A = this chain, B = another copy of it.
Amino acid sequence: MWPGRTRNIQRPPIAKINALAHELEGKGRRLINLGQAVLGLPPPKRALQRVHQYLENTETHGYCPDPGLPTLREATASFLSSKKNIKDATASRVMLTCGANQAFVNALLAVTMPGDEVIIFAPYYFDHVFAVKLAGCKPVEVELAFSEGRYHIDFTRLKKALSPRTRVVVLVSPGNPTGRVADAEEIKTLCELCRRNDLRADSRIRSQVGMDRRTNPEVNFESALWLISDETYDLLTFPPAAHVSPAAICPTERTIVLGSFSKTFGLAAWRIGYLYGPNPEFIEETIKVQDALVVCAPVPSQMAALGALEEVDTYVPEAVSELIRRKDSLMSALKSCRTLEAIEPHGSTSVLARITTPVFEDAFAYSRSLLQNQGVITVPGSAFGPHGEGHVRLSFGNQPPSVIAQAGERIRSFENSCT
């Protein structure tokens, strides 16, 4: 048995499917990739111009300060304020990271102790669960409810899952893999629940549950309940759905936001995201993690993000229009499929679909068989936890509508061959 903590973590599921895809491509097969949930559009021109400027004007290519280039911290704060309604956003609360995943890890390591519990809604984004396990914390899955064709938080289940050791609740909206977008009412209820369960914020809770330091030595009485809001797909929503950030409508001293320039601006290769904290103290603590992990986000990537933000008003609406065309193309293709029942996404770059045929042992068998038979790459829902089993994720963000339509035909041929 592997002697380190990774033994409790599965191999990244996309890697497993990609390895098979790579093998098939080696044999000359032409595949259609509906696997990775990215925006497959060229980045804003201004992003690349800024990188060119950096290459031309920079003599020595040194570090920048840990939290990032001051100009980009300012630009990100303006973006948070103008595009996400986080009114009091300031540069001193912003940290640039090597993608949104690193922002999540920075926050997680700053606010938890090993042994703490972290609540994650399921089906979940698998890298969050990996990160929680790597941090020596315990992921606590809370299944999302599904009714009237959409996913939403089941507050009864959430209340049951909260314990004195809960340190973090993770919200991902727009959701991956669900494509769900939490609305203002849901977010307000969640924030209020977090606030009431924040042991440090409200010592009455502590006495109500009969805890004190002597009788509960295992409980960390410095604890606090943080809300980490992963807003990676924030601007990639489909009207009338619109993204709402907890930091915009019910901010507390424990509300953390993270986001991705990689996703919003087609800059995945550059690995650039950000972390936004409730106060400069949070950023100061997080700098300790930042220094140990990466020192600072890559400076050229920060220049790309700076250029991208300068073009946000023209680039994003066009990208979303194209994304909607791609989404509609996939939804329409899936409508005539007999083995998949698609759940309409309100944001993000993918569709989660329920597998309605009993032919396959599990979702992985479905995805593998579809790939082997028809050369369409998808991600089995089990990648997103036990509650994703029986589903498959199909990403539309990376392919033009014509290719997506072609994928639809292949899926229908697959149905004919396997039933």
Please tell me if the beta carbons of A292 and B112 are within 8 angstroms of each other in the complex: no
Please tell me if the beta carbons of B295 and A298 are within 8 angstroms of each other in the complex: no
Q: A5-B114, A114-B5 are in contact. Are A271 and B289 (CB under 8 A)?
A: no
| Chain B residues within 8 Å of A15, by CB | 65-66, 287, 291
Interfacial residues of chain A within 84-134, with CB under 8 A of chain B in the complex: 98-99, 101-102, 105, 109-115, 127, 130-131, 134
A352-B1 Cα distance, complex, nearest whole Å: 43
A222-B6 Cα distance, complex, nearest whole Å: 13
Copies of this chain:
2
Q: A111-B4, A134-B289 are in contact. Are A65 and B296 (CB under 8 A)?
A: no
| Chain B residues within 8 Å of A167, by CB | 3
Interfacial residues of chain A within 266-297, with CB under 8 A of chain B in the complex: 266-272, 281, 284-289, 291-297
Interface status of A378 (Cβ within 8 A of chain B)? no
Please tell me if the beta carbons of A300 and B66 are within 8 angstroms of each other in the complex: no
A42-B62 Cα distance, complex, nearest whole Å: 9
- A contacts with B: majority SS: loop
Interfacial residues of chain A within 296-352, with CB under 8 A of chain B in the complex: 296-301
Please tell me if the beta carbons of A61 and B268 are within 8 angstroms of each other in the complex: yes
A9-B111 Cα distance, complex, nearest whole Å: 13
A135-B63 Cα distance, complex, nearest whole Å: 25
Distance in angstroms from A409 CB to nearest chain B CB is: 24
A408-B106 Cα distance, complex, nearest whole Å: 39
User: A271 touches which one: B7, B98, B135 (CB < 8 A)?
Assistant: B98
Q: A266-B61, A284-B11 are in contact. Are A292 and B110 (CB under 8 A)?
A: no
